[in-house]
Amino acid sequence: MSGELKCLLALERRGALSEDELFLLQRLEAGDRGEAELLAMVESLFGEEVWVRRNVWLDRQVECDLLVVTRARVLNLNAKFYQGDFRYVDGKAFFNQSELRSNPVLAFQRSMDRLRELARRCGLEDVPIDGRLVFLNPDYSVSVDGSNVWPCVGRADVLKMLQDLRAEAGGSRLGTGYNSGSRRTGTPRGLDINWVASRLMTLESESKYWAAPLNLSHLQKIYRGLLCPSCGNRHLSVSQRVVECACGHYRISKEQAVWEAVQEFAMLLHDQPVLRTSELEWYLGGEVRRGFILNILKENFEMTRLGRFTVFQNPFYREPRENCVQRLIDREDYIKRNSTIQNMNRITGANKYNKQTKRK
């Protein structure tokens, strides 16, 4: 699952997404289902006869939904899971009769050109590099004319495609040229799968894209506190040791529940290099004492000093794609301001309780 999808799911559980972001989430979830289904088919048919990886980025240039190395070739399988009819005619792509601004077929062709160039760069110029666009949508039609360079495979033909690739790999015999000199791209039985995969992985990189940064509109809408992952309940029973939901499907140690929430918030703050205890206390809605959060941070994150305060390195930090200084300032100010209000309400409530107790 991509970082973008993880962030959107976390925000969706906490009710912080706009309509456009909800639509993006639906698209990404559909794509994730398609990739998972295709991976399961490859693994069930090939077993250990191939090397396969999902969601691979190479040199921040090429994204491979499934990167497969057989004894015959390297395959880039791009999974599509459209919730509608798809047509590709004369170089143009249409979704439900409307032309797509982003043409997936042409984008895949450009991606394959870059993949072949990267393969040459890492010493795999003699290895066949191939690709397929795989449409897995079950209830909608796919129509592709012959103007595309790379094969497009519909759901009904996916199994036949994989069987053909397996038969090709099983009968593969490469010439002695593959063993010449110090280059071990192949063996008498075909490609040296592990060696070819290791060369490709020298190009592995982080994703070129990451989730959109947390902004003020998210902060203003977000549900704070501990959530039940089963039913989404925001009103959990939090005792000294255990967190429990009334639905009966969620009962976990308090330490584990807080640790999962800390990781979630750190991921959402992926454009921020450090974490502050006050931010996490705000995110948890004041349900957990700062000292409890601090102990968890000390056990799991690297500490550093920022002036008079101790902060913690964010392991999910990614270099922002744009100047984010003002956004970080606005976000920090918003959390600080609302944390102050939260603390004042807590103190006021405690004072009222003490006064009532004295009267009694």
40 HSE (CA, 13 A, CB side): 7
What pLDDT is recorded for position 344? 53
Domain assignment present for residue 139? The answer is: yes
Helix axes 19-46, 158-170, angle to 10 degrees: 40
Question: Do 193 and 225 lie in a common domain?
Answer: no
Would 209 be classed as within a structural domain? Answer: no
250 within domain boundaries: yes
Q: Are residues 181 and 230 in the same domain?
A: no
- The answer as to whether 210 is a domain residue is no
> Out of 120-124, 270-274, 335-339, which region has the weakest mean confidence (pLDDT)?
335-339
In a domain, 359, yes or no: no
Number of domains present in the structure of the chain: 2
Q: Does residue 289 sit in the same domain as residue 316?
A: yes
pLDDT at 294: 92
Is residue 152 located within the same domain as residue 248? no
Instruction: Check whether residue 99 and residue 244 sit in a common domain.
Output: no
Q: Residue 203 contacts by C-beta under 8 Å, 6 or more apart in sequence?
A: 58, 59, 118, 121, 122
The model's pLDDT over 104-138, given as tens digits with 9 standing for 90+, comes to 888 888 999 999 999 999 889 889 999 998 888 77
- Does residue 87 sit in helix, strand or coil? strand
Structural contact between residues 107 and 88, judged by C-beta atoms closer than 8 angstroms: no
Among 8-12, 19-23, 66-70, 151-155, which stretch is predicted with the lowest mean pLDDT? 151-155
The stretch 306-321 carries a mean pLDDT of 83
Residue 155 falls within a domain, yes or no? yes
Let me know whether 139 and 242 are in one domain. no
Q: For residues 163 and 20, is the Cβ–Cβ distance under 8 A? A: no
Q: Are residues 229 and 279 in the same domain?
A: yes
Residues 181 and 316 occupy one common structural domain: no
Q: Which domain holds residue 32?
A: 3-202
Give residue-wise pLDDT tens across range 140-187: 777 777 766 678 888 888 899 999 999 888 765 544 334 433 345 556
Asked if 193 and 226 sit in the same domain, the reply is no
Residue labelled with tokens 């240039």: 61
Structure tokens at 121: 């760069």
Residue 360 domain flag:
no
Question: Same structural domain for residues 197 and 220?
Answer: no
